[in-house]
Amino acid sequence: MSPEVTGFFDEATNTISYVVRDPKGSACAIIDSVLDFDYSSGRTDTRSADAIIAFVKEKGYDVQWLLESHVHADHLSAAPYIQEQVGGKIGIGDRITVVQDTFGKVFNEGTEFQRDGSQFDKLFKEGDSFHIGQLRGDVLHTPGHTPACLTYVIGDAAFVGDTLFMPDFGTARCDFPGGSSKMLYNSIQKILALPDETRIFVGHDYKAPGRDEYEWETTVAEQKALNVHIGQGKSVEDFVQMRDTRDASLAMPKLIIPSLQVNMRAGNMPEPDEKGDVFLKVPVNKL
Ligand SMILES: [Fe+2]
């Protein structure tokens, strides 16, 4: 079965959110939504999420799932906001507990911050399956970029989050706490073992040098032949060396500090203080 896939590109964070619909009905899932955040003013905005909500309402779609490929470090999730408006269960990988434990320490969270993934409606593990109407989704655990990264294989489409990017851009960084280039290599081999014609939808696009347009759809066959980091049967040793060298030169994403605090809570802000005000922390010299 081939789901109908609509991508929504967020220019501020280069993120693609997806609406994935069962072609035989109205059921859909929303993958990796974005809550806009202006760091300099500390203000949130819902225009990106509102565009997706307007789309599913106009089409009369029934939102069954709000899926996260991982705890993003470059944008805040809008899953709880979207859930409030149109429903759906929020799902992420069950290794979220590892991520919560790591960043619970980084942000010196108190015991009220649960590290058991209970902020999410569903924790998926390798081999789990789920349904969007009559469409079947299968879950691959694809760690490396983070320990909890998942790939959702829905019909003939794979939503790979931050593992592979477009073939001319390569792969995702592996230098966040709990990341590993060797793990990412092995995870990518799982994705490349899917049928050649599988459509691959990536989590970000940055327009590789020489390309004028943003793109987010490719195939397993194209990745195997053309991916600049891992195509043509690149060895694990070569990949790890390239990835680790490159990661050492990358700056932290602009929104990593607010993103992690919100996304490890399934897209919710920390609890308000006694006056009802909400604060995010900035850990100094920790990241
Ligand atoms: Fe990411």
Task: Please write the tens of the pLDDT for every residue from 110-132.
Answer: 999 999 999 999 999 999 999 99
Helix axes 79-86, 47-59, angle to 10 degrees: 30
Type and span of the H or E element at 199: strand 199-202
Sheet with 89-93: list strands edge to edge.
Answer: 4-10, 15-21, 27-31, 62-67, 89-93, 122-124
Q: Please state, rounded to an integer, the average pLDDT across all residues of the chain.
A: 97
Domain boundaries along the sequence of the chain: 4-263
Q: Is the pLDDT of residue 54 over 90?
A: yes
Question: CA 96, 101, 103: angle at the middle one, nearest 5?
Answer: 95
Strand pairing of 129-132 and 27-31? unpaired
CA 197 to ligand 1 centroid distance, Å = 25
CA 70 to ligand 1 centroid distance, Å = 7
Burial environment of residue 147 by CB neighbours within 10 A (0 to 12, 13 to 18, 19 or more): buried
Dihedral of CA 9/14/19/20: which sign? Answer: positive
pLDDT tens digits, residue range 196-254?
999 999 999 999 999 999 999 999 999 999 999 999 999 999 999 999 999 999 999 99
CA 171 to ligand 1 centroid distance, Å = 11
CA 154 to ligand 1 centroid distance, Å = 20
What token pair was written down for 41? 């003013």
Mean pLDDT, to the nearest integer, of 96-114? 96
CA 1 to ligand 1 centroid distance, Å = 28
Q: Is the pLDDT of residue 287 over 90?
A: no
CA 71 to ligand 1 centroid distance, Å = 7
The CATH code belonging to domain 4-263 is 3.60.15.10
pTM for this model (two decimals): 0.97
Which of 91, 257, 245, 108 lies closest to 174, judged by CA?
Answer: 245
